[in-house]
Amino acid sequence: MAKSADRPMLVAALLLFALALAGCIFTPSSQPTPLPYETPSPTPYEARACNTYPTIEERDACNYQSALSGDVPEDCAQVINSTLHDDCFSRFASHLQNESLCARLSVAENVSACYLTVAGLKNDSSICDNLAGAERKGCYLGLNDTSILCEEIASNYSRAVCFADARHNASFCAPLGSAYADACRQDYALNQSDQSACAEIANATVLAECYSTLALRLSKFEICGAINDTAARASCVGPFLSGNLTVELCYLLSDEAARYRCLAKAQSNYHFCEVLNETQYRDLCFEEYAEYFKNATFCARINTTSYIDSCYGNLSIALSSPDLCANLSTELERDNCFSGCALATGDIEVCSRVFLESIREPCKSDVAYELDEPALCSQVETGYYGERCYSMIIENGTYAPQSCADITVERWHDECYLRAAMRLSDISLCRKITYPTSMQQCLAALGE
């Protein structure tokens, strides 16, 4: 009986094995991965209302937390306690950078602090206007906006310039009217180094002056190019022509002769001078070229006498070369050249090359004075100019006392020591005076 009971089980096992081989048994299909579980938000009916709390403190705390956690600033209004109420709105005002929420605060000090905070966060001084008096002024100055100080200025013009500078905006000049507005714009442009403000000036003269002054201040000749009037532009460019020349600078000059003179120097090419047809312009070009490069050989290319004299005369000083004076056309011109060169170089010996006494003796006197050396006055041969020489130097009172020893004229020798002794309160200098009476006077004056 046991074998007959096991037979059905064996048959069932063989049947399942056969079905498996035939592919009739399938693996269950994969199920989708369930999404993470999220707690559903409670509905108004599920959430406990703050007004159900028994005490004001509990209701305020609930409304305060509800406002902040729900990011709903309007819920702050439900808070009764002034400290929590103001803190709630103040937090939102700062977080949202919304100064209008500051007005919702109840305590005046908190309102002011709120506006100050938001003004700082937004770097917006206009928010300071919600304050009054010293708080408003302090708010402006705290943001480095000095325009608040302009309100105290009585003059309309000065106040407009002040506001323009403080706000970096020339439009504050406009209400002044045309003439004053242009002057205001110029002041602003120069104060702020703002070329664009010059462009707003209506008057052509003021406009050119604005550009010219700004060009010099900023050392930018390119600014001169904004001037339309050719004469005004040339005046603007003028100061730059004695410095480092460039082709761009030269082409700002409308006058052909001036432009070629500039180009010759800018490109180190004297052939630009030869392009000029008129002798006067060509000679001036060669003179400027010779002086610019300190090369006297180009003076020889000049035909006009006055330009020749000027060329050699200027270079004699620039090169400290009195020999160049010999090339000047007349005796008077040569004498003046030697005198000028002697004074420029401090070489009194050059004065001896002057032919005319009326130029030679003042030349020596002037060189001695420039060198502050009274002893050199002994080289002046004419009595009047010799006296003049001693008098100018000794009365000027800046000479060194040791130079008195070489003075050969006894009167001026003693006067030199006397003045030096008094000036320096040095009694030892009194004893170097030759004339006894003068020496005693000096010693007595200094307390001996």
How large is the average pLDDT for residues 259-271?
97
Least-confidence region, from 5-9, 12-16, 234-238, 422-426: 12-16
Q: Is the pLDDT of residue 104 over 50?
A: yes
The pLDDT value recorded for residue 5 is 42
Q: Where would I find the H helices in 347-396?
A: 357-371, 383-396
Please state, rounded to an integer, the average pLDDT across all residues of the chain. Answer: 88
105 with 111: CB under 8 angstroms?
yes
CA distance 24 to 39: 43
Please report, for the chain, the start and end positions of each structural domain, with discontinuous segments joined by +.
Answer: 48-145
The pLDDT value recorded for residue 336 is 97
178 pLDDT band, cuts 50/70/90, is confident
CA distance 191 to 200: 15
- Greater pLDDT, 70 or 401: 401
The share of the chain scoring above pLDDT 90, in percent, equals: 83
How large is the average pLDDT for residues 85-94?
95
Q: Is the pLDDT of residue 23 over 90?
A: no
The pLDDT value recorded for residue 28 is 36
Q: Is the pLDDT of residue 19 over 50?
A: no
How far is C-alpha 331 from the geometric centre of its chain's CA atoms?
A: 51
Angle between helices 178-192 and 204-218 (to 10 degrees): 10
Least-confidence region, from 31-45, 54-68, 370-384, 428-442: 31-45
How large is the average pLDDT for residues 290-313?
97
